[in-house]
Amino acid sequence: MASAHGELEKRLQDPNAPPMSLPLDFLKDITCDFSNESVLGEGGFGVVYKGVLQSGKIIAVKKLFEIRLKEETFQNEVSSLMGIKHQNVLLFVGYCAESKWEAIEQPSGSGKHIFAEMPNRLLCFEYASNKSLDKHISDESLGIEWNTRYEIIKGVCSGMHFLHDECHIVHLDLKPENILLDSTMTPKIADFGISRIFGEQQSRLVTDNRAGTWLAMGLAPIVFFFSSSTSRL
């Protein structure tokens, strides 16, 4: 087991390695069994944990909520993330899809048990040490200098252009919480839990599924961030 985990760690060190299947035991090890101390944040689809490799490298491990999990959605999500590689899109490094059967007592109190399949579905990404954009913006932009703000705006636009034109993906939930910043304050677009993929021949996407963040609420801080930057031009 140790040698297998060592090989996984070696592959995770390679920035050019394709996303890989990661065993649940390995992800438990690097997150201290998904301890509260390892929690980085929580969203509508799961909890994100800090996974620390023996080398000190950190990855983000998103454990999806079972109650909201649809197998088809998970498979589509992994498939859409596999080929995405851009400096302004959070890098997808691996996934876990394991299930186990557990005996669960029936709620009737009869003492009888039924076997139920308990899925474990996780997505793993590069770690962005400077957290999300919403932690850095306010009415005063918390002292972020104009050049940095400009580079963040430009990076977000570049990432969204890549997703839309090259990957044919509409994010549908772009907001400051879903824009992460690495150690150099480079923006990384994240959270494709409700993304939609459309064909190359489609010029627009029409959907009745309104999952996501209300547009005005989600984009207002970004619009302010943009306007407060361009006002300096």
Active site residues: 173
How long a stretch of residues is the chain?
A: 233
Helices (H) and strands (E) in the chain, counts: 5, 10
Question: How far is residue 10's CA from residue 197's CA, in Å, rounded to a whole number?
Answer: 32
Question: How far is residue 94's CA from residue 78's CA, in Å, rounded to a whole number?
Answer: 9
Is the distance from CB of 162 to CB of 89 less than 8 angstroms? yes
Is the distance from CB of 32 to CB of 41 less than 8 angstroms? no
Binding residue per annotation — 135?
no
Q: Which residues contact 153 (CB under 8 A, 6 or more apart)?
A: 225, 226, 229
Provide the annotated binding site for ATP.
63
Provide the annotated binding site.
63
